[in-house]
Amino acid sequence: MEAGVGLALHSRAAGFGSGRRRTAMYGGESRCQIGSLRLGDQVGSPAAVRARGSKPIAPLRAKKSSGGHENLHNSVDEALLLKRKSEDVLFHMNGRCIYLVGMMGSGKSTVGKILAEVLGYSFFDSDKLVEQAVGMPSVAQIFKVHSEAFFRDNESSVLRDLSSMRRLVVATGGGAVIRPVNWKNMKKGLSVWLDVPLEALARRIAKVGTASRPLLDQPSGDPYTMAFSKLSTLAEQRGDAYANADVRVSLEEIAAKLGHDDVSKLTPIDIALEALHKIESFVMEDTVTGSQTEPQAQWIQTL
């Protein structure tokens, strides 16, 4: 294959859940209103995602890079592995939604867009849907003008509305895990925890700044140190809330498996691939035990 020729993945969910409404990422067929959300052909399209202030979802392509043929081959191999694994996973998913949970900066949006593309699902970022529902341009502004509690109420409404849909990958807000009612809704699909060491999170966040993350934003101080200290406090407060997810994707484990000494060497594709492997194990076991969609944790059932 010539360098520079793109390998676009066109994973299709065709054949699954026929007769149900599809919300394919490109060119959804229908528009509908569910609760406070308007979903359908506009929202699922790249143009609509851009209109809501998100970056467009780039098609997954093998890129020509300065490394030449070797890099191209690696990219092609990765793309094929992802495509094959996504087909295995789709077979067992029955259209269930995937909810990505994890701390701020854990890569929920980055990895979520890759998963949505290979599975032929639609991608949504719940922070963006809250901004849309409230009619404000940023989460930071919602916190400032209203309050964190107001944001959390809207976040819960968005997750409740999404939970009645199918074939979505949802990047949830970092704090969505603290409310049991959100788990009750997320457990209608499959939840995946991106478990990233705090040092790596702080490095990523310090790189892009904290302005868009109101719980981390500080008027002064070294960005890495401030982010690390706040993230540590949040992680302590949240305790085991993330561990309630059906599947845990640990970057430390992936790095060890791939022989890397640092999680920063992992690409979003490495992480998406591991997520698909873990999802497959979970759904296969789930199919065998017949426990699909039943909330497991006792504290959810006490609601």
Ligand X SMILES: Nc1ncnc2c1ncn2[C@@H]1O[C@H](COP(=O)(O)OP(=O)(O)OP(=O)(O)O)[C@@H](O)[C@H]1O
Ligand Y SMILES: O=C(O)C1=C[C@@H](O)[C@@H](O)[C@H](O)C1
Give the binding site for ligand X (CB under 6 A): 102, 104-110, 127, 171, 174, 204, 208, 213, 266, 268, 271
- Min. distance of Cβ 156 from ligand Y in angstroms? 12
CB-nearer residue toward ligand X: 38 or 204: 204
CB-nearer residue toward ligand Y: 67 or 137: 137
Token reading at 214: 């109101």
Residues of span 59-88 touching ligand Y by CB under 6 A: none
With contacts defined by CB under 6 A, name the span among 92-100, 210-218, 246-254, 288-296 that binds ligand Y.
210-218
Token reading at 8: 């676009």
- Min. distance of Cβ 187 from ligand Y in angstroms? 20
Residue 131 CA from chain centroid, whole number: 17
- Min. distance of Cβ 27 from ligand Y in angstroms? 28
- Min. distance of Cβ 172 from ligand Y in angstroms? 8
- Min. distance of Cβ 276 from ligand X in angstroms? 15
| Residue 266 near which of ligand X, ligand Y, none (CB within 5-8 Å, type-dependent) | ligand X
CB-nearer residue toward ligand X: 108 or 188: 108
Mark out the alpha helices in the chain (DSSP H runs): 41-44, 46-51, 69-93, 108-119, 126-134, 139-145, 148-162, 180-186, 198-208, 223-238, 251-258, 268-289, 298-301
Find out whether 229 and 206 touch, Cβ atoms under 8 Å. Answer: no
Distance CA 98, CA 245 (A): 11
Q: Does 215 bind ligand Y (CB under 6 A)?
A: yes
Find out whether 235 and 168 touch, Cβ atoms under 8 Å. Answer: no
- Min. distance of Cβ 212 from ligand X in angstroms? 8
Number of chain positions touching ligand Y (CB under 6 A): 9
Distance CA 107, CA 97 (A): 18
- Min. distance of Cβ 139 from ligand Y in angstroms? 5
Helix axis angle, 198-208 to 223-238, nearest 10°? 130
CB-nearer residue toward ligand X: 108 or 160: 108
| Residue 204 near which of ligand Y, ligand X, none (CB within 5-8 Å, type-dependent) | ligand X
Token reading at 70: 């070797």
Residue 134 neighbours by CB under 8 Å, 6+ apart:
142, 146, 154
CA angle at 191 for the pair 185 and 193, rounded to the nearest 5°: 130
Residues of span 147-206 touching ligand Y by CB under 6 A: 173-175
Residues of span 117-146 touching ligand Y by CB under 6 A: 127, 139
CB-nearer residue toward ligand X: 74 or 110: 110
CA atoms within 13 A on the CB side of 74: 9
Distance CA 175, CA 251 (A): 20
Token reading at 220: 């002064």
| Residue 208 near which of ligand X, ligand Y, none (CB within 5-8 Å, type-dependent) | ligand X
Contact residues for ligand Y (CB under 6 A)?
104, 127, 139, 173-175, 213-215
